[in-house]
Each structure stands twice: as C-alpha cells, then as structure tokens.
Amino acid sequence: MENGAVYNETTEPEAKPSRRRSFGCTLRHLSGWRLPAKAVQALFSFAAVICEEIVEDCSNCGGLYFFEFTSCSAFLLSLLVLCVYCTDVYETLGEDKVEKLNFWAMPVIAAWFLIASIVFAVTSSGSAIEHAACTFGFLASIAFVLEFVIQYIHRRKQNVAGQSENPRNTPSATENQPLNKQT
C-alpha cells in the first residue's frame, strides 16, 4: 500500500473529451413533433419569400418591403434554429439555452410575421401572387404559434410533474428533518 499499488489497477486517468473536427449532423434532438414543425415553418417561410419575390408591380410598396424583410428573416431564423438542433452546436450551447432561445424566438417571429402579413394584405394590389404570399405568411405565422403553444404545454406538464409533494416547505415535514440527529 505504501507504493500506491492498490490504486494502479482500478484507477484510470480521466479521459479528455475529444474535439470533433467533423461536421456532425443528427436529428436526435428533433424527435417527435419538433422535426415536422420546424420543416413546416421553414417551408412556409420559404414559400412566402419566393412568392413575394415574384411580385412585379406594387402600388404601395411599403407593405411589400416590410413583408419581404420579415419573411426572409423568419426563413433564415427558422433555418438557423434547425441547424442548431441538427449539429454539434446543440451540445456546445447546452439543451437549456437552446430550448429557452427557441421557446422565446417562436412567438416573436410569429408576431412579426403576422403583422407583416396583415400589412401586406392591406396594402397589396390584389394580384394572385400577392394573395399567395399573404397566405403563406399567415400559414407560417400559425406554424410558429403552434410550436410555441406545444412547447408551452410541454413545459407546463414538466413543471407540474417536477413539483415536490411538499410545495410549501413546511418545517414539520419528514423530508426537511436531518438524516442524522445531532445529540
């Protein structure tokens, strides 16, 4: 024991985490409802961008420009969030930060997209392609809102399931007594 032989056989040096050089892409963080939700958001946002880019004439272009900026931003942000979920950035940032970012980004994107869609619908000249762009804008807004609502419901369920049986932390509860009584 004096030479430390006891510890040599059982103790191994702590392995250093390897730095991955490859670009790892996985869908394991987008299980269940989340992958279709993200795909629908990206598709509707992209369709709105394409439709508004096809518009040739506008009588009141302010609404079109606002919709263009918002739809393009929403598309790029939805792609960014999708990339974060599918790459090693998810582990780098941490699950809590990514989930929190996604939770608060979805209603903000939805609100701006909804406002832009309403403004564009009001200021459009009424062409078929403008109606299509507005429709995809409203559908994208709904997709962003639905993901936020589903996430909110899941968070509420987790909070209810995670609450202790003694929420008021009463001092007489057995769980608040010391394990070993001091005498």
Residue 18 lies in a domain: no
On whether the CB atoms of residues 144 and 106 are closer than 8 A, the answer is: yes
Rg of the chain over Cα atoms, rounded to whole angstroms, equals 26
Per DSSP, the residues of 47-116 read HHHHHHHH----SSHHHHHHHHHHHHHHHHHHHHHHHHHHSTHHHHH-HHHHHHHHHHHHHHHHHHHHHH
Task: Name the nearest CA neighbour of 110 among 36, 40, 58, 52.
Answer: 40
Residue 183 lies in a domain: no
Residue 72 lies in a domain: yes
35, 38, 40, 43: CA torsion to nearest 10: -120
What helix, strand, coil percent values describe the chain, rounded to 5?
Answer: 70, 0, 30
Mean pLDDT along residues 22-49: 85
Confidence of residue 139 (pLDDT cuts 50, 70, 90): very high
Q: Check pLDDT > 70 for residue 167.
A: no
Q: Check pLDDT > 90 for residue 159.
A: no
35, 39, 42, 48: CA torsion to nearest 10: -150
Q: What is the pLDDT of residue 22?
A: 52
Residue range(s) defining the domain that contains residue 101: 32-156
Domain count, the chain: 1
Residue 168 lies in a domain: no
As a whole number of angstroms, the distance between CA 119 and CA 66 comes to 8
Mean pLDDT along residues 14-33: 67
Q: What is the pLDDT of residue 28?
A: 78
Q: Check pLDDT > 50 for residue 152.
A: yes
Q: What is the pLDDT of residue 172?
A: 58
Residue 126 lies in a domain: yes
Residue 115 lies in a domain: yes
Residue 117 lies in a domain: yes
As a whole number of angstroms, the distance between CA 24 and CA 99 comes to 20
Q: Check pLDDT > 60 for residue 79.
A: yes
51: CB partners within 8 A, 6+ apart: 129, 130, 132, 133, 136
As a whole number of angstroms, the distance between CA 1 and CA 134 comes to 78
Residue 59 lies in a domain: yes
Mean pLDDT along residues 102-123: 94
Q: Check pLDDT > 50 for residue 177.
A: yes
Mean model confidence pLDDT for the chain: 83
pTM of the entire structure? 0.72
On whether the CB atoms of residues 75 and 51 are closer than 8 A, the answer is: no
Alpha carbon 41 to its chain's center: 11
